[in-house]
Amino acid sequence: MGTKKNGGSINPGVPCLECPLRLSLAFKPISDQHVARIQRMRSGQVLLQAGSAIVEPDLQNAYLYTLFSGWAFRYKMAENGSRQILNFLLPGDLVGLQAAMFEPARHGIIALSDVRLCRFPRRNVWKLFGSVPDLAFDLTWLGAREESLVDHNMLTVGQLDAAERVATLIFSLYKRLEAIGLVHEKSFDFPLSQQHLADALGLSLAHVNKTIAALRRRGLFEWTGNRIVIKQPKSLERAAEIYESTYLPRPLI
């Protein structure tokens, strides 16, 4: 559970023009010129190990990021020591916009797996914010999208029972991963522990475990090691509260 504090290693990273993420239909097509501007704004790629803090609560944040590979989550601690996971971050997601607007940050972000992040110094971003309206718009758009993910989690935690919550979370991640090409044969990497599920869904660890066991027995999915296989997408979807039927192409910065 302890957060690792290693700074991580920095390298120039893949040129943005060759970014493999852009091949996905999940992202809005943009001009090479615009991509070049993003590249200039970037100060390289950061590599962090699973468990590392990407954003520390109550600290200033000099960087925005785009998650290039791996998983992360955004969370808040309660005074009683319990943790609420607000949303999960997947490749292509913008990381740290809210943290960059407020100082100190009101939440933390932790890497769930080893992650690669494209790093953008805040000053570079704010500079282009003024001179490149499209970029400003895209940032605002991505901020609104993250809020909409939290909105959906709020509905899940506030109104659904345990089985529906688990089904909803797994199904949502399944669809998001599918959109960026990380699902193969209905199966995908799944670096969460049951404790993470519990913290995201507002349930106890023991109850999450029992709920998962029940869903597994119903044959909706399998979960072995770090991988989930969706056995009955339709049934899982019926058991879940759906976020949105169609995923709009979104900006990739």
Q: For binding to a second copy (CB under 8 A), which residues are involved?
A: 74, 76, 78-80, 82-84, 86, 97-98, 101-102, 106-107, 126, 129-131, 133, 136-137, 139-141, 143-148, 150-155, 157-160, 201-202, 241-242, 244, 248
Element (H, E) at 136: helix 133-159
Closest to a second copy by CB, 45 or 153: 153
Residue 91 and residue 75: Cα distance in Å, rounded?
Answer: 18
| Contact of residue 60 among DNA, a second copy, none (CB under 5-8 Å per partner type) | none
Site residues for DNA per CB under 7 A: 1, 161-163, 193-195, 202-207, 209-213, 225
Least distance in Å: CB of 199 to a second copy?
A: 8
Residue with structure tokens 């109850």? Answer: 207
CA atoms within a 13 Å half-sphere pointing along the CA-CB vector of 184: 3
Least distance in Å: CB of 154 to a second copy?
A: 5
DSSP 118: E
| Contact of residue 78 among DNA, a second copy, none (CB under 5-8 Å per partner type) | a second copy
Closest to DNA by CB, 124 or 189: 189
Residue 245 and residue 180: Cα distance in Å, rounded?
Answer: 15
Least distance in Å: CB of 3 to DNA?
A: 12
CA atoms within a 13 Å half-sphere pointing along the CA-CB vector of 249: 9
Residue 168 and residue 241: Cα distance in Å, rounded?
Answer: 5
DSSP 169: H
Residue 98 and residue 76: Cα distance in Å, rounded?
Answer: 13
Closest to DNA by CB, 210 or 218: 210
| Contact of residue 205 among DNA, a second copy, none (CB under 5-8 Å per partner type) | DNA
Closest to a second copy by CB, 33 or 80: 80
What is the DSSP annotation of 192-246? --HHHHHHHHT--HHHHHHHHHHHHHTTSEEEETTEEEES-HHHHHHHS--S-SS
Least distance in Å: CB of 34 to a second copy?
A: 14
| Contact of residue 204 among DNA, a second copy, none (CB under 5-8 Å per partner type) | DNA
Least distance in Å: CB of 171 to a second copy?
A: 13
Least distance in Å: CB of 58 to a second copy?
A: 11
CB within 8 A of 103, min separation 6: which ones? 60, 61
Closest to a second copy by CB, 5 or 40: 40
